[in-house]
């Protein structure tokens, strides 16, 4: 006889006093048997107190965990380490994601059709209308195009914070990021490790009055650019370092052309510093290529070890509900 899967709703929260009550009530109504876990991430307001009071009033199965290390990635990591469930729902605590659509995210995992289900904010068009930060939208599209190109995927919403995960995914996902880049990291991990990913279109609404966004256009824009470089370096090291090698080699040729041209015409080199610079740039290009080849082999070995670990996990894990 199959038992009903245990569901945990994970709500990272930082200064969400204005919205945490309605968020908890929404998920409690949508998933009355789910365990609601609020991760209070150093809030300076009454977020934790309001969350505890709301859980008590509803008589809901839930708890509030304090995570002192700042950052959404740290909050999610704490929840994944401490909370035990068959299926996990991750959502923001700011009422931008509809709790009533949680069952739509759960269904593909319950039916064993996906390992991660993403709430797609873009397909319905609400995100473009509600989101007032055009530069954030541009950054999202930039990362989306890069990720889809590298992994031959067709994902629409790379950075959505509304997701559902299987237990296998959660317990085999090493969280190394600390901040808001955790959403991108979740997507990259799923694609890189060949998990089944599905997207479900959802409605999106901007924060209600009194709720303040924690995003910063300049700071988070810089993070997007850094994330793009990290994606290439970590997930496609050969491509990244070959690209560096080509750039350094090109600069070396530009620096060395006057030296070579002078030597052909006079059999003499008078621009010694330029010759040294050109030689150094070419050496860096060769070293970059060598690093790329080594890291590509290391990446392949890591993938091999991960697959072996996944097989061992599946052998030892209890059967799916």
Going by DSSP bridges, is the β-strand pair 116-120/163-166 parallel, antiparallel, or unpaired? antiparallel
Between 230 and 77, whose confidence is greater? 77
Q: What is the mean pLDDT of residues 59-78?
A: 94
Last residue of a domain, one of 233, 264, 299: 233
278/172 same-domain check: no
Determine the pLDDT at residue 252. 95
Per-residue pLDDT band for 84 (boundaries 50, 70, 90) equals very high
Per-residue pLDDT band for 101 (boundaries 50, 70, 90) equals very high
260/137 same-domain check: no
36/123 same-domain check: yes
Classify residue 294: in a domain, yes or no: yes
180/289 same-domain check: no
Helix (H) and strand (E) counts for the chain?
11, 7
Classify residue 156: in a domain, yes or no: yes
146/213 same-domain check: yes
Determine the pLDDT at residue 227. 73
Determine the pLDDT at residue 133. 55
How far apart CA 222 and CA 131 sit, in angstroms, is 19
Last residue of a domain, one of 214, 233, 252: 233
- In the chain, the number of structural domains is 2
Classify residue 1: in a domain, yes or no: no
Question: Tell me, what CATH number does 43's domain have?
Answer: 3.90.550.10
3-state DSSP call for residue 299? Answer: helix
**pLDDT for 244-303, tens place per residue?**
999 999 999 999 999 998 989 998 888 899 999 999 999 999 999 999 999 999 999 999
71/153 same-domain check: yes
213/74 same-domain check: yes
**Residue 252: partners with Cβ closer than 8 Å, 6 or more residues away:** 278, 279, 280, 281, 282, 285
25/158 same-domain check: yes
How far apart CA 195 and CA 208 sit, in angstroms, is 35
Per-residue pLDDT band for 208 (boundaries 50, 70, 90) equals low
Output the average pLDDT for the chain. Answer: 88
DSSP track, 193-254: TT--EEEEE----PPPTT------HHHHHHHHHHHHHHHHHHH-HHHHHHHHHHHHHHHHHH
Last residue of a domain, one of 175, 200, 233: 233
What region does 320 belong to: left with phi over 0, alpha with psi -120 to 50, or beta? beta
Classify residue 36: in a domain, yes or no: yes
Q: Show the domain range for 104.
A: 7-233
**pLDDT for 163-204, tens place per residue?**
999 999 999 999 988 887 899 899 999 999 999 999 999 998
204/254 same-domain check: no
Helix (H) / strand (E) containing 311: helix 272-316
Determine the pLDDT at residue 191. 94
Classify residue 321: in a domain, yes or no: no
């Amino acid at each position: 006889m199959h038992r009903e899967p245990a569901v945990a709703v994970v709500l990272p929260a930082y200064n969400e006093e204005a919205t945490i009550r309605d968020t908890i009530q929404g998920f409690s109504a949508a998933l009355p048997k789910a365990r609601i876990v609020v991760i209070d991430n150093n809030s300076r307001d009454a977020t934790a107190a309001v969350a505890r009071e709301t859980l008590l009033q509803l008589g809901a199965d839930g708890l509030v965990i304090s995570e002192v290390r700042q950052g959404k990635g740290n909050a999610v990591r704490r929840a994944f380490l401490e909370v035990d469930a068959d299926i996990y729902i991750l959502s923001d605590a700011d009422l931008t994601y509809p709790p009533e659509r949680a069952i739509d995210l759960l269904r593909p995992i319950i039916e064993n059709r996906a390992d991660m289900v993403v709430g797609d904010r873009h397909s319905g068009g609400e995100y473009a209308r509600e989101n007032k930060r055009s530069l954030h939208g541009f950054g999202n599209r930039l990362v989306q195009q890069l990720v889809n190109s590298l992994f031959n995927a067709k994902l629409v919403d790379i950075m959505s914070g509304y997701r559902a995960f299987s237990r296998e995914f959660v317990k085999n996902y090493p969280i190394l990021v600390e901040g808001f880049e955790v959403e991108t990291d979740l997507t990259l991990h799923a694609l890189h490790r060949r998990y089944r990913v599905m997207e479900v279109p959802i409605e999106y609404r901007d924060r209600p009055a009194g709720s303040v966004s924690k995003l910063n256009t300049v700071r988070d824009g810089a993070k997007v650019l850094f994330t793009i470089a990290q994606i290439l370096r970590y997930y496609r090291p050969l491509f990244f370092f070959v690209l560096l090698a080509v750039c350094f080699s090109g600069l070396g040729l530009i620096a060395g052309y006057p030296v070579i041209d002078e030597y052909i015409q006079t059999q003499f080199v008078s621009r010694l510093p330029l010759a040294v610079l050109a030689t150094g740039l070419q050496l860096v290009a060769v070293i970059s290529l060598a690093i790329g080849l080594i890291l590509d082999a290391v990446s392949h070995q890591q993938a091999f070890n991960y697959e072996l670990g996944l097989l061992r996990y599946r052998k030892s894990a209890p059967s799916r509900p």
